[in-house]
């Protein structure tokens, strides 16, 4: 299997301050990867290192099996054949949309260039805008042009820096899905950077959660949600709380909500104190259940309510409840836990 992008133990420093450390990741040809994390976690720095704007202080970066970065080696950006879409899009204001897209096609013969521009314009639905200047375009249109411009020279890899940050919140997920279709149609390998997990879920095949310069986990969205590698990932991706418990056998943990069973060996000693991840969709409202909890908060989400509940010990859990079940704050309601896979971390001291 050839990897379109491969990072081995990559560290990057800016002005001698280490920003990202010991990153390992691989991306297959045609896949879309996303670096996800809060601002300041080093995700943009890592993206710029892949692009070649920043040198690495350790490790290696290879693009399409070609070594492009290692300490003492930095293949210049302009020789890497990477396409990059910047957060502010960076369209050249003195050039029309068409001239912007053609900018990287200098060495391509005129008929071929026209063809490429037309293909991209069709794909990104910007055919009408080709002769407009960037300042006349809306944010979404500018983004499409920026993507078309970056894709035009057929780069080996496309990098997107916070591509949706400047767009209206309501539009982001739709646009993310649409852009994903375009990228998949073209078959281009892509890495994007985002701080929004919904965007990441909508766009990416593989997601890397970053925190303070470290890559915590690199896997599919499904695995991030259901099999988080660290407590941080569990907390950052999706909603949920940790409930204390005690391991009673290879697959079971005793908690305030009863004994929970996993479909896999948990790998803890019997008697170990652990935290069990309880997602809101694991907690089912059931009036017949003997276990009850008090409603502390509720937030209306359309089809369902998100309840924040207090157990007898005071521990809080969350539950998604269909919105035709209405319970007032302060009421005791019956709950039942339905989980077939447990996510367990050692209890923090």
Partner 1 sequence: MTGLLAFKTAMIKHGAIIAIIALCLLLSVPVLTVFSSVGASSGGVWAHLADTLLWDYIGQSLMLMTGVGLLVLVLGVAPAWLVTMNSFPGSRLLEWALVLPLAMPAYIIAYTYTGMLDVTGPVQGFIRDTFDLRFGDYWFPQIRSLGGAITMLSLVLYPYVYLLSRMAFLEQSVCVLEVSRTLGAGPWRAFSRVAVPLARPAIIAGLALVLMETLADYGTVQYFGVSTFTTGIFRTWFGMGSSIAAAQLSAVLMLFILVLVLTEHWSRSRARYHHTSSKYSRLPQIRLVGVRKWLALVFCAMPVVLGFLVPFLQLAYWAWDTRHLVDFSAFSELLFNSLRLALTAALIALVLGMFISYAKRLQPNLTMRSSVRVLSLGYAIPGTVIAVGVLIPFAWMDNSIDAWMQQRFGVSTGLIFSGTLVAVVFAYIVRFLPVALNTVDAGLSKIRPSMDDAGRSMGMGSWQILRRIHIPMLRGSLLTASLLVFVDVLKELPATLILRPFNFNTLAIRTYELANQERLTEAAASALMIVLAGIIPVIIISLSISASRPGHDART
- Which residues of the shown chain bind partner 1 in the complex (CB under 8 A)? 51, 53, 76-79, 81-84, 86-88, 90, 92-95, 103-104, 106, 135, 149-150, 153, 159
User: For residues 57 and 13, is the Cβ–Cβ distance under 8 A?
Assistant: yes
**What is the CB-side half-sphere exposure of residue 163 using CA atoms within 13 A?**
36
Tell me which residue of 202, 214, 225 sits closest to 192, measured CA to CA.
202
CB of 90 to partner 1, least distance (A): 4
Least Å distance, CB 99 to partner 1, is 10
- Looking at beta carbons only, is 106 or 109 nearer to partner 1? 106
Report in angstroms how near the CB of residue 104 gets to partner 1 at its nearest.
3
Residue 98 tokens read as 């068409």
Q: How far is CA 264 from CA 111, 241, 287, 338, in A?
A: 60, 21, 30, 15
DSSP-assigned beta bridge partners for residue 274: 245, 346
Instruction: Please identify, using beta-carbon distances, which residue of 48 and 195 lies nearer to partner 1.
Output: 48
Comparison of 42 and 83: residue with beta carbon closer to partner 1: 83
**Phi, psi (rounded to 5 degrees) for 48:** -70, -30
For 40, which DSSP code?
Answer: T
Q: Which residues pair with 188 in a beta bridge?
A: none
Please tell me what DSSP assigns to residue 348.
Answer: P
Q: Which is nearer to partner 1, 92 or 222 (CB)?
A: 92
Could you tell me the smallest distance in angstroms from the CB atom of residue 119 to partner 1? 17
Q: Minimal distance in Å, beta carbon 289 to partner 1? A: 55
The strand pair at 273-278 and 241-249 is best described as antiparallel
Q: Which is nearer to partner 1, 162 or 304 (CB)?
A: 162
């Amino acid at each position: 299997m050839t990897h379109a992008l491969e990072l081995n133990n990559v560290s990057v420093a800016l002005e001698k301050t280490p920003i990202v450390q010991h990153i390992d990741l691989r991306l297959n040809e045609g896949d879309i990867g996303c670096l996800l994390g809060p601002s300041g976690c080093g995700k943009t720095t890592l993206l710029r290192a892949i692009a070649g704007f920043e040198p690495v202080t350790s490790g290696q970066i290879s693009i399409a099996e070609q070594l492009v970065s290692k300490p003492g080696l930095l293949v210049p950006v302009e020789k890497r054949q990477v396409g990059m879409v910047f957060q502010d899009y960076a369209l050249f204001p003195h050039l029309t949309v068409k001239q912007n897209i053609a900018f990287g096609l200098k060495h391509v013969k005129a008929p071929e260039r026209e063809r490429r521009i037309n293909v991209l314009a069709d794909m990104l639905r910007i055919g009408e805008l080709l002769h407009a200047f960037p300042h006349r375009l809306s944010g979404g249109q500018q983004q499409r042009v920026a993507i078309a411009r970056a894709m035009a020279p057929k780069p080996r890899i496309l990098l997107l820096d916070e591509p949706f940050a400047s767009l209206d919140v309501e539009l982001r997920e739709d646009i993310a899905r649409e852009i994903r279709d375009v990228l998949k149609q073209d078959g281009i390998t892509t890495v994007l950077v985002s701080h929004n997990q919904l965007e990441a879920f909508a766009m990416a095949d593989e997601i890397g959660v970053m925190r303070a310069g470290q890559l915590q986990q690199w896997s599919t969205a499904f695995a991030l949600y259901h099999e988080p590698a660290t407590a941080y990932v569990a907390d950052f991706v999706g909603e949920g709380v940790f409930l204390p418990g005690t391991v009673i056998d290879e697959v079971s943990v005793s908690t305030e909500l009863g004994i929970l069973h996993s479909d896999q060996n948990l790998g803890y000693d019997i008697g170990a104190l652990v935290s069990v991840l309880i997602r809101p969709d694991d907690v089912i409202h059931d009036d017949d259940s003997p276990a009850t909890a008090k409603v502390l908060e509720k937030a209306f989400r359309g089809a369902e309510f998100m309840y924040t509940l207090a157990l007898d010990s005071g521990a809080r859990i969350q539950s998604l409840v269909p919105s035709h079940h209405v319970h007032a704050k302060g009421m005791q309601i019956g709950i039942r836990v339905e989980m077939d896979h447990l996510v367990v971390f050692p209890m923090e001291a």
